[in-house]
Chain A
Amino acid sequence: MAASDRTTSTPAAGTATKQRGETVLQVENVVKHFPITQGIVFKRQIGAVKAVDGVSFDLKRGETLGIVGESGCGKSTLAKLLMRLETPTSGKALLEGRDMFSLSGSALRRMRRNVQMVMQDPYTSLNPRMTVGDIIGEPFDIHPDAAPRGTRRQRVQELLELVGLNPEHINRYPHQFSGGQRQRIGIARALALKPEIIVCDEPVSALDVSIQAQVINLLEGLQDELGLSYIFIAHDLSVVRHIADRVAVMYLGKIVEIGTEEEIYERPTHPYTQALLSAVPVPDPKARAHREIIRLDGDVPSPANPPSGCRFRTRCWKAQDICATEEPKLELRAADPHPSACHFAEQKTHVVA
């Protein structure tokens, strides 16, 4: 139902035929530095937090790109940049051939329709004083041509049904729903304008295990039905493995390794990816004996003052002199044919997740 009227009435859609596998979003060398200033009257910039520092990737239609990394690695800043909630310091992001960072005014508003977001915390991302109908219908206020006035209520009810909620609950308030149901409301809101890309920033982290699975199934079902592309940001590596086609691992504002789900989880070549995967607790007590956890010392360095050369070298057990002087490029390595930003990229067996 929704799939058919999608192709007929998506105004922002450039071409009529849309095929899976074509690139919908091309991100090139995106940088976001937040200035650190000193002084109250005369502000001087004394440094910058390099939250995202040169990130490039492609996103194909119908594909899920997982982005994993520890807190502070810049994955949420990246999500905000792609939503144009933050202005990048430099870089490009081509959406249907147009750089979304250079758009403004009505062109920007039309572009925004194509990229929507599902937030992490369903308890704070829904306005408690608005009914579900108003929350899901709010995008139509900003984009009146997306749903003519008379059809709006019907559209909202269709959306509620699409995400597995009772359409009769349109007049209820967020507090009358459980966490999992609220996240469904957030998903319905993101779908209202028929976007092509949905940025999911930790969409299931705040949910209980039994509810998590329901929301993941919903996201996967919607993707099949509507041909959506997801950028799926999460710190739970087993959830990302389940849902993602390709995975990018971020560390201190950079992608250190990117590849298909199988390449990253079965044959990781970057030491950080290996350490990250080995630290994931395995829900099987029998694994205790033969599990080898790579212990990383210390914490992630400050992104305001990242280490020279390879940013991971301060915590890396393989670090040599070259790591401090020369920054490893994210390029194909001999160890396995997927890009990895390590001078000493090699496979390591017994990494489970």
Chain B
Amino acid sequence: MSKHSAGAAVTRDEWTARADRDTTGADGGHLLEVRDLFVEFHTRDGVAKVINGVSYHLDAGETLAVLGESGSGKSVTAQAIMGILDMPPAVIPNGQILYRGTDLLTLPEDERRKVRGKQIAMIFQDALSALNPVFPVGWQIGETLRLRDGLSRADARRRAIELMELVKIPAARERVRDYPHQFSGGMRQRVMIAMALAQDPSVLIADEPTTALDVTVQAQIMDLLGELRRELNMAMILITHDLGVVADVADRIAVMYAGRIVEHADVHALYEAPAHPYTKGLLESIPRLDLKGQQLTTIKGLPPNLMRIPSGCPFHPRCPFARQECVDVVPTVHQLGNDRTSACHFAEEVLDGRI
């Protein structure tokens, strides 16, 4: 990983000392904080500005939902936090990712590895392609235990069985030697959760964990994640496009559009009265019972091409309330009280329902 900002390098001992402390941040700040992050992809066709100044924070034990459509940059932010972006083509020209007060982006790679998995772990959308088909699941769950913690094969397997029991895989002892294809979709997702939990992380990033699953299995997995989060006192970042799942589990929501956070609010406040026209449009485009037989409200047009993000507010070509100001000026983040923000020139009016 290249160094892009001139932060003071943290020595190994300092880092370990900080990580061991179970308070939130070294300076009393947040457990995890993303500050003004920018990510670009340099491709043959030009520069795609995928993340354009994202900031959010996460405290111990809470669930932050990052909501957005494909291409909004929600997964790229998570990959930047994990340090698993392919660089190049990705470039991080600016920004900080503070974990317990330490900027992960300035850490040398071997220090960064100590955070990945051990402090911040991630589960992916498609369990079948995230698991290795040629190794038994128990072997994969125990892999980090053997390599990082130096456990023997037998101990690692024993711990893998415990982890499989933790994620409620029935008959864990018999199934520890089974291969991924022998499990159903829901069970594979559980295996991946067990893998993520092997190092007992403080932050779990779940990237669309239930998108590929059926509703009844989705309910099981979301329950399990909620339970584990409470039991292990983890903080969770839930990345999703499903407004239903968010309403069920999240404490706070950050809505992303074209690489920016357009609205950030408490889950109840956001569903009650959205403060950004994009959020409003999303909520209105869900099929609702009282609109049966009528046209669904749509957001006109398409998400922007990230190589050519519109001037001013990136949402203005699709926004029903857009005015000249929106075309000319990039909206600043409006503070609306109670940790609530909206990046719209007319945030107050949208919130009050005046426009």
Contacts and interface: CB of A to CB of B under 8 A. Distances in A.
Contacts of A171: none
B69 interface: yes
B328 interface: no
A236 B105 CA distance: 40
B247 A285 contact: yes
B5 interface: no
Contacts of A213: 285, 287, 296-299
A214 B292 CA distance: 15
Instruction: Tell me what chain B mostly uses at the interface: helix, strand, loop, or mixed.
Output: helix
A5 interface: no
Nearest to A245: B293
B154 interface: no
Nearest to B219: A279
The residue among B187, B214, B220, B297 with the most chain A CB atoms within 10 A of its own CB is B214
A274 to B, nearest CB: 11
B320 to A, nearest CB: 13
A146 to B, nearest CB: 31
B287 A239 contact: yes
A220 B268 contact: no
11 contacts: A209-B241, A210-B285, A213-B298, A214-B298, A216-B287, A220-B295, A235-B214, A242-B291, A276-B215, A279-B218, A283-B283
A281 B147 CA distance: 39
B271 interface: yes
Contacts of A295: 219-220, 223
Contacts of A235: 214-215
Contact of B186 (A178, A208, A299): A299
A16 B222 CA distance: 54
A23 B184 CA distance: 39
Instruction: Tell me what chain A mostly uses at the interface: helix, strand, loop, or mixed.
Output: helix
Contacts of B178: none
Interface stretch (A95-103, A109-117, A131-139, A286-294): A286-294
A158 interface: no
Contacts of B187: 299
B322 interface: no
A288 B247 contact: yes
Query: Lowest 5 A-B CB distances belong to which pairs?
Result: A281-B244, A242-B287, A70-B214, A210-B299, A213-B296
B87 interface: no
Interface of B: 69-70, 170, 184-187, 214-220, 222-223, 241-248, 250, 267-268, 271, 281-283, 285-287, 289, 291-292, 295-299, 302-303
A210 B244 contact: no
Given A210-B281, A238-B287, A299 B184 contact: yes
Contacts of A38: none
B68 to A, nearest CB: 9
Contacts of B245: 281
B247 A281 contact: yes
Interface string A286-316: 1110000101101110000000000000000
A259 B232 CA distance: 45
Given A180-B302, A210-B69, A285-B267, A276 B216 contact: yes
B153 to A, nearest CB: 30
Interface in A174-218: 178-181, 208-214, 216-217
A330 interface: no
A209 B286 contact: yes
A282 B241 CA distance: 14
Contact of A217 (B185, B248, B295): B295
B302 A296 contact: no
Given A208-B69, A286-B268, A217 B298 contact: yes
Given A280-B215, A283-B286, A295-B219, 9 more contacts: A208-B70, A210-B281, A216-B296, A217-B298, A238-B244, A282-B248, A283-B283, A285-B247, A300-B184
A341 B295 CA distance: 34
A241 B289 contact: yes
